[in-house]
Amino acid sequence: MATINKNLSDYDKTTVPNAKGFRFGIVVSEWNENITGGLYKGAVEALLENGAGEDDIITWQVPGSFELIYGCKRMIDTRQVDAVIAIGSVIQGETKHFDFVCEAVSQGIKDLNVLTDVPVIFCVLTDNTMQQAIDRSGGIHGNKGTEAAIVGIRMANLRRETK
């Protein structure tokens, strides 16, 4: 596992650009809300801790992870944001539905990164068990939402520096 011996919430604050002046979109799946809620909390806390203002964080909810793609696209099209964080959680079940959703969401977010000028950060947990998702959304492995927020700040800064 990629998260063994790694805490997803750990980062060196001195290497993170100040987020002041950036606008962030966060699109959150309501499916597995106990997981996505923890990821969202970690993302918002990290953005605020690194200088983002509360008014500079726009949050939308969508029903499930599959709908993150449309939500992120609409966020980019209708709000002036410097980065969008897509937060979701897909947990393996007994059918191939898991595979189809994970593939579609990862490809859709990749497509948004290629087709638009706004970075879309992939914060979608694709775990085999609920316990793995808990461990990565504020549990023993930290919070992937925190990690995604730091990536969002860095990518917003890269976007600004390369305009």
For 103-161, the pLDDT digits (tens) are: 999 999 999 999 999 999 999 999 999 999 999 999 999 999 999 999 999 999 999 99
Q: Residue 163 has what pLDDT?
A: 82
> Is there a domain that residue 19 lies in?
no
> Mean pLDDT over residues 61-87, rounded?
98
> Is there a domain that residue 149 lies in?
yes
Percent of the chain whose pLDDT exceeds 70: 97
> Is there a domain that residue 96 lies in?
yes
> Is there a domain that residue 79 lies in?
yes
Is residue 94's pLDDT more than 70?
yes
Number of domains in the chain: 1
Percent of the chain whose pLDDT exceeds 90: 88
**Domain span at 73:** 33-161
Q: Residue 1 has what pLDDT?
A: 43
> Is there a domain that residue 23 lies in?
no
> Is there a domain that residue 144 lies in?
yes
> Is there a domain that residue 11 lies in?
no
Indicate which residues carry an active-site annotation: 97
CATH assignment of the domain containing 56 = 3.40.50.960
> Is there a domain that residue 6 lies in?
no
pTM > 0.85: yes
Q: Residue 39 has what pLDDT?
A: 98
Q: Residue 8 has what pLDDT?
A: 72
| SS3 per residue for the chain | CCCCCCCCCCCCHHHCCCCCCCCEEEEEECCCHHHHHHHHHHHHHHHHHCCCCHHHEEEEEECCHHHHHHHHHHHHHHCCCCEEEEEEEEECCCCCHHHHHHHHHHHHHHHHHHHCCCCEEEEEEEECCHHHHHHHEEECCEEHHHHHHHHHHHHHHHHHHCC
